[in-house]
Amino acid sequence: MRYEILGGSLPVALCKLEAGEEVWCESGSMSWMDEGIRMNTEGGGLGKMFGRAFAGESMFRNRYVAERAGEIAFASKFPGEIKAITLSSGRSVIAQKKCFLAGERGVNTSLYFQKRIASGFFGGEGFVMQKFSGDGTVFLEVDGSAVEYYLAPGEKKIVNTGYLVMMDESCQMSVETVKGFKNVLFGGEGIFNTVITGPGRIILQTMPIAQTAALLYSIMPNDSN
């Protein structure tokens, strides 16, 4: 499969398939495609269906198989970026829920549970994230702009709630308490931060959709007044 990502802050991943190649996505994620690409809607068994629902994704997924060479497009649902991550037998990644856009046939998804209770309760990413493994390219949606770092062994990055998109499986996640009584009460950053420790690559986002939605709601006119 060949691909290109176009569209700037309103991006789309254009995947060019040869005959016999296939990609899959969550239900409703395909934007347009050429004639000659066949769609199959699959559940994959009750366990996998409920697992996807638990991770915040649709229970069904669509698999697109090229009967002849053609193009299929997957557009982002929110202004931001689309990041193409290459997976291999030696590299798996952990990502936030609902960031998956599409992937090649060799990409596998599974639930990833936080090993540390504190990270699940207070880290802002929740107990359940998604793990992507296998061989192939997976496309992830980023809210706003993507900023990438490679953390050396033992190097840490402190991240506010909602800003982590993805980390290599080799990274570790924990939480730390914001220090200082006044900082907690008046700093506006909450009580806890997520701490990512290397080694590995991480991707952060500049405009988490949940925070953007909360801001828009706060300035919307109130009909009751």
Q: Report residue 215's pLDDT band, with 50, 70 and 90 as the boundaries.
A: low
Judge whether residue 121 has pLDDT over 70: no
Instruction: Determine whether domain 2-219 maps to CATH 3.60.160.10.
Output: yes
User: What average pLDDT does the chain have?
Assistant: 82
The pTM of this model reads 0.82
Four-CA torsion 100, 101, 107, 110, nearest 10 degrees: 30
Helix (H) or strand (E) holding 178: none
State phi, psi for 214 to the nearest 5 degrees. -65, -40
User: What is the pLDDT at residue 188?
Assistant: 44
Would you say residue 192 has pLDDT above 50?
A: yes
Confidence band (pLDDT; 50, 70, 90) for 204? very high
71-80, 129-138, 151-160, 190-199: range with lowest mean pLDDT: 190-199
